[in-house]
Amino acid sequence: MTASIKILTDSSVQLTAAEIKKYQIEIVPLSVEIDGQSFVDGENISRPELIDNLRAGKYPKTSQPPLGRFVEAYDRLGADGSEVIAIVLSDVLSGTFTTAQTAATMSNTKVTVINSKSTDRGQAFQVLAAAQDAQAGKTVAEIQQHCQEVHQRTRINVLIDNLDCLVKGGRLSRFAGAITKLINLKVIVQLNENSLDVVVKGRSRKTFVKFCEGLAERHQNNPIQDLSLSNVGTDPEFLERLKNLILPTANQTNYLAELTSPIIMTHTGLNAVGVITLSEKPDVD
């Protein structure tokens, strides 16, 4: 009898409660640090609470991924003889992939770790594909191949409204941060295979509007199947405006606009919007 396959991911993922329940997805919580205190995502800090901290001027830092939490989860899921596929956020953003791999060597369960090269809803696209494949009886190799194919159809851009978190996190010098604040600089970054790159700079939110207009044009011949506007407390009216720019009026695309995880908030700051698309065909430049 072929062993069953169970799907595990980390809490940077953007999944609905219904999706988690339907596919019995295991989520290992990651941690953030605020004022020297460690908080576990979803356990002693929620997404709205992290936004409250940002608004109060308390800037989080990422902390080491929990090795023991991965080992415990692997052991528990594999206790009945099941295999585990762990799909985790990009190594560009975190050391979670390395931690998940190390934990796999410490577990009695057979574990395959996939670097999603993604995060948030982009990571969820792969997790959901894998979970559906597992329920359909697909092999580990088939699931890995499917995840790669989904990744090639995924694009993640983040519209960063203010650069405070980048400055506080040491990813931008204080001098540069002060200058860009004076000129109200907005940036758009793109999560690529091996880097997080600034692709657009501008002086106002019109920069974001223009980018989303261009995104709609880009997908005229490669329709968007799923759109997520994961955000950091961005006003709903602006999110609706971006959605209407990106998607044709008659488009029946799956759409989600939820708060992103505390892990991603530490990188992006207040009012950021992750524009995450899954298109019909590979999305290549």
Per-residue tens of pLDDT for the chain, all 285 residues: 356 999 999 999 999 999 999 999 999 999 999 988 999 998 999 999 999 999 998 888 887 778 999 999 999 999 999 999 999 999 998 899 999 999 999 999 999 999 999 999 999 999 999 999 999 999 999 999 999 999 999 999 999 988 765 555 444 444 344 444 544 688 898 999 998 888 898 888 999 999 999 999 999 999 999 999 999 999 999 999 999 999 976 666 899 999 999 989 988 889 999 999 999 999 887
> Rounded CA gap, 204 and 27, in Å?
37
Reading across the β-sheet that carries 37-40, which strands appear in turn? 37-40, 31-34, 61-62
> Rounded CA gap, 215 and 211, in Å?
6
DSSP letter for each residue of 177-236: HHHHHHTT-EEEEEE-SS-EEEEEEESSTHHHHHHHHHHHHHTSSS-EEEEEEEESS--H
- Taken in order of first residue, the domains within the chain and their CATH numbers are 3-150 (3.40.50.10170), 152-277 (3.30.1180.10)
What is the reported pLDDT for 61? 84
